[in-house]
Amino acid sequence: MNAPLRRVGMVMMILFALLFANLNWVQVYKADQYRTDDEHNRVRVQQQEYERERGQIIVDGKAVAQSVETNDTLRFLRRYPNKELYAHVAGYRPVNLAAIGIERLENEFLSGTADTFAADRLLEMFTGKESPGGNVVLSIRRQVQETAYRELLNNSTGTKRGAVVALDPTTGAILGMVSTPSFDPSPLASHDADTAQNAFNKLDKDPDKPLLNRAISETFPPGSTFKVIVSAAALQAGLDPNTTLAGGASYTAPDTTTPIRNAPGVNCPNELTLKNALRVSCNTAFARLGVEQVGADRLKETARAFGFETEPLFDRDDDNIMRVAASHTGEILGPGGQVDRPALAQSCIGQREVRITPLQGAMIAATIANNGVQMRPYLIDTLQGPDLNVVGTADKKELRRAVSPQVAGQLREMMESVVDGGTGTAAQIAGFQVGGKTGTAQDGDRPDHGWFLGYAMKDGRPIVAVAVMLQNAGSGGSREATQIAGEVMDAAIKAEGLK
């Protein structure tokens, strides 16, 4: 071997020795310091992420989450200019806490580390210029969201807790999603760890649970809104809206001595049609219908056809990062595995173990408006690169066909009678076909929940479906929920330029 090669070999050996020594120094001698030094870890691991401007979350052309430049060690600070209005949708991206909402779902895209930006990152190595992350454009309509939030806050029952979901029945686009009480995400994104942790602790200990997204992550007894599912099961069993049912002041199911009665003020004659039973919300007729004609198996099968027992995952959220809860009908079985007929009767009026999310309520109404076709809900309309070019759009996907177009049409006839001259008249909108169903749901010893789910159409075209839930609103809750639903649907109509 000649002298130059020997010299190169010696240099390489020395370099490898130094590298090996440094590796041992870092991994052994300095390991504890690196592992326990919070400030060092915070800066070393996170500073690079905060050197790049994070993309915006956008509603109707305006940012509801954005990054502002600071003089802190971490260059960019996350801010939420609308505070509580979009908190449960956009979520928040903190420094040391766990992210939630769209901030978590689209973290890689917003931060600019998604595979979509591989070419941009490669170019940065040569230019030294860092481009911001991508923007996420939501399907939310500002007018719908603002109306839902305002109406929930100012509801006449005085309840602080509630939720609204509004969506486009033909596409699945979420037009509004509000949960109250809400919270201001900005303190949670503070660069000061103590400030962020204190803000989280205060919210976490609040008995009204402002961090909980009641629109999608919690289930509630639906009360009489569940009669829409019972009606669908009856229609599929061969009944029609004009089939005569037995009603009356009370009904005692087999195997029990406890009668089911109608809500105060409900006049339910001894005989009435299925359509009128839904219109006046006759408990006795639906309890008897479920036990004597529908049955537990058909009821559960119909509920599953509308999406019960499975989380209605959003587009781009196969891992359920948005924490969507499944709705359930309950077992409806006795100790020996036989059908519990008293439980079935109670389930048919939306009590016992029946639980739904407001999202599920909106999807029920949307499916009926959309001729029985249920679309997958989505919150993200488009993804924009740093140059504002669209690099991704929502996948508008059919989830299932819950009922036939004929049954869907019969259900619309029945639900529109509820709004035209039944318990849901507060949801009427001049010039539009509005259908819906009210609900008052018992909640143990606490005040009742108030519900409304429904839709609005124009010349046979579905425009919006909505569900409103006022938690423990008590007397007048369902009427107030109906009023709110009407305002939200009207806002969606105006947002579409139809009024």
* Cα R_g (the chain), whole angstroms: 28
- List, in order, residues 6 or more apart from 19 with CB less than 8 Å away: none
Beta pairing class for 162-167 and 174-180: antiparallel
What is the C-alpha separation between 266 and 285, in angstroms, rounded? Answer: 12
Write down the pLDDT at residue 434. 98
Which among 179, 20, 117 is positioned nearest to 387, based on CA atoms? Answer: 117
The pair of structure tokens assigned to 19 is: 């590298």
Write down the pLDDT at residue 337. 86
Segments of the chain scoring below 70 in pLDDT: 1-46, 123-129
The residue with tokens 């019960």 is 308
Write down the pLDDT at residue 49. 79
Which among 429, 310, 323, 321 is positioned nearest to 374, based on CA atoms? Answer: 310
Please give the DSSP secondary-structure letter assigned to residue 25: I
Catalytic residues: 224
- Determine the distance from the C-alpha atom of residue 398 to the mean position of all C-alpha atoms in its chain, rounded to a whole number: 18
Continuous segment of H or E residues that includes residue 380? strand 380-384
What is the C-alpha separation between 244 and 246, in angstroms, rounded? Answer: 7
- pTM comes to 0.90
What is the C-alpha separation between 350 and 469, in angstroms, rounded? Answer: 14
Cβ-based burial of 75 (10 A; exposed 0-12, middle 13-18, buried ≥19) = middle
Helix (H, G, I), strand (E, B) or coil at 234: helix
Sign of CA dihedral 275, 280, 282, 286: positive
Q: Are 152 and 146 in contact (CB under 8 A)?
A: no
Write down the pLDDT at residue 41. 46
- Determine the distance from the C-alpha atom of residue 246 to the mean position of all C-alpha atoms in its chain, rounded to a whole number: 37
What is the C-alpha separation between 483 and 490, in angstroms, rounded? Answer: 11
- Bridge partner list, 450: 440, 470
Write down the pLDDT at residue 38. 47
